[in-house]
């Protein structure tokens, strides 16, 4: 494909129109974005409801991706660009590997698939079954969640099980809130499309959706890799307390430094408290109001 960007348009999962960076080649427009400086491309593909990855490029004859079947493609592509820009502009991180790796997404994965994941190489999004979820790429916090798994994998490498896994999940939710600033909810735009006002998770009130918000409520289980989507409520609550006290601009610096400098594969919740305090001390000094706020947040969730 050429290096020239052909600005296209598209309609997203929620019916909103947005501009897209596309590439023209051989009579067809591709969801390939080559506009990011020093980065690889951002490319979006479709699995056409099978489960083979990466699938074929999302294409359109007239550069207006407005078919209903293209809505998931449009949002996966657009939001990947938003998340790329966030990491580059906020932390000067050039893609998930820091070295301009291509951001590949595949949508329409499987049939009625109620999930999204990072498979070690790319993002993958299901269409949902129309009741539990609509197309999962339709929400910025989902793309932020999945792409942050890629960053975590290349930095702290938090093992995806038990406390390190719940922490891994929490880091992804926390950056979901750093990107999707409007609320402390996760997945609200794509969860239960027939029901308004709910979400998959809440950082401010994990209990609303069945998650513990204190170490006293830690769930010992072997399912879901040791309850990673349940126990993430505890660090999620600490993140909420930190963000609501210090604001996003300060909190994101503290979390990014902890993720890239102090956390490691087997870090547990107590290690996370220490990592975030060390990070805060580096940035603002021990005994600073920021330091005391982070300490207080983790004490409130029962982690020392």
Ligand X SMILES: CCCCC[C@H](S)C(=O)N[C@@H](Cc1ccccc1)C(=O)N[C@@H](C)C(=O)O
Taking CB atoms, the residue at the shortest distance from Ca ion is: 192
d(CA 208, CA 230): 12
Q: What is the DSSP letter of 301?
A: T
Which does residue 115 touch among Zn ion, Ca ion, ligand X, none (CB within 5 to 8 A, set by kind)? ligand X
Which does residue 260 touch among Zn ion, ligand X, Ca ion, none (CB within 5 to 8 A, set by kind)? none
d(CA 246, CA 145): 22
CB-nearer residue toward Ca ion: 195 or 216:
195
- φ and ψ of 158, to 5 deg: -50, 120
180 is a site residue for Ca ion (CB under 5 A): yes
174 is a site residue for Ca ion (CB under 5 A): no
Q: Which of 77, 145, 149, 229 is catalytic?
A: 229
What's the min distance (Å) between Cβ of 226 and Zn ion? 14
- φ and ψ of 281, to 5 deg: -60, -45
In contact, 226 and 161? CB cutoff 8 Å? yes
Structure tokens at 83: 């998340």
What's the min distance (Å) between Cβ of 117 and Ca ion? 18
Looking up tokens 């580059």 gives 88
What's the min distance (Å) between Cβ of 141 and ligand X? 6
Taking CB atoms, the residue at the shortest distance from Zn ion is: 172
Q: Which of 43, 146, 188, 252 is catalytic?
A: 146
Query: Which residues lie closer than 8 Å to 108 by C-beta, 6 or more apart?
Result: 46, 47, 48, 49, 55, 69, 72, 73, 125, 127
Q: For this structure, is 182 an active site residue?
A: no
CB-nearer residue toward Zn ion: 29 or 86:
86
Q: What Cα–Cα distance (Å) separates residue 199 from each residue in 48, 89, 214?
A: 27, 28, 20
Q: How many residues bind Zn ion (CB under 5 A)?
A: 1
Binding mask 146-185 vs Zn ion (x if CB under 5 A, - otherwise)?
--------------------------x-------------
Q: For this structure, is 159 an active site residue?
A: no
Which does residue 200 touch among ligand X, Ca ion, Zn ion, none (CB within 5 to 8 A, set by kind)? ligand X
146 is a site residue for Ca ion (CB under 5 A): no
What's the min distance (Å) between Cβ of 148 and Zn ion? 8
What's the min distance (Å) between Cβ of 177 and ligand X? 11
Q: What Cα–Cα distance (Å) separates residue 131 from each residue in 76, 127, 191, 192, 200?
A: 20, 11, 8, 5, 13
SS (H, E, C) 106-151: EECCCCCCCCEEECCCCEEECCCCCCCECCHHHCHHHHHHHHHHHH
- Residues lying near ligand X in the complex (CB under 6 A) are found at 115-117, 136, 141-142, 145, 149, 169, 186-187, 200, 229
CB-nearer residue toward ligand X: 136 or 251:
136
Beta bridge partners, 17, equal 11
Structure tokens at 149: 């798994």
173 is a site residue for Ca ion (CB under 5 A): no
d(CA 190, CA 213): 24
Residues 196 to 255 in contact with Ca ion, rule: CB under 5 A: 198
CB-nearer residue toward Zn ion: 219 or 274:
219
Where do contacts with Ca ion occur on this chain (CB under 5 A)?
141, 180, 185, 191-192, 195, 198
Where do contacts with Zn ion occur on this chain (CB under 5 A)?
172
């Amino acid at each position: 494909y050429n290096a020239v960007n052909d600005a296209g348009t598209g309609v997203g999962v929620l019916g909103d129109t947005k501009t897209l960076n596309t590439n023209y080649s051989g009579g067809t427009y591709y969801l390939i974005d080559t506009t990011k400086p020093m980065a690889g491309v951002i490319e979006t593909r479709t699995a056409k409801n099978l489960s083979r990855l990466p699938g074929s490029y999302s294409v359109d004859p007239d550069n207006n991706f407005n078919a209903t079947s293209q809505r998931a493609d449009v949002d996966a592509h657009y939001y990947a660009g938003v998340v790329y820009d966030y990491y580059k502009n906020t932390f000067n991180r050039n893609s998930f590997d820091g070295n301009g790796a291509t951001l590949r997404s595949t949508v329409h994965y499987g049939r009625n698939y109620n999930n999204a994941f990072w498979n070690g190489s790319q993002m993958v999004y299901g269409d949902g079954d129309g009741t539990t979820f609509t197309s999962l790429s339709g929400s910025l916090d989902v793309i932020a969640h999945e792409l942050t798994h890629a960053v975590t994998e290349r930095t702290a490498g938090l093992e995806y099980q038990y406390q390190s896994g719940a922490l891994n999940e929490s880091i992804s939710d926390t950056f979901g809130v750093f990107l999707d600033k409007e609320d402390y909810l996760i997945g609200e735009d794509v969860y239960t499309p027939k029901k308004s006002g709910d979400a998959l998770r809440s950082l401010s009130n994990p209990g609303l959706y069945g998650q513990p918000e204190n170490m006293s409520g830690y769930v010992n289980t072997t399912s879901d890799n040791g309850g990673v989507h349940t126990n993430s409520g505890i660090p999620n609550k600490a993140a909420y307390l930190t963000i609501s006290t210090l604001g996003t601009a300060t909190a994101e610096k503290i979390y990014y430094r902890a993720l890239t400098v102090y956390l490691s594969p087997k870090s547990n919740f107590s290690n996370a408290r220490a990592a975030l305090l060390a990070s805060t001390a580096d940035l603002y000094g021990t005994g600073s109001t920021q330091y005391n706020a982070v300490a207080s947040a983790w004490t409130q969730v029962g982690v020392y």
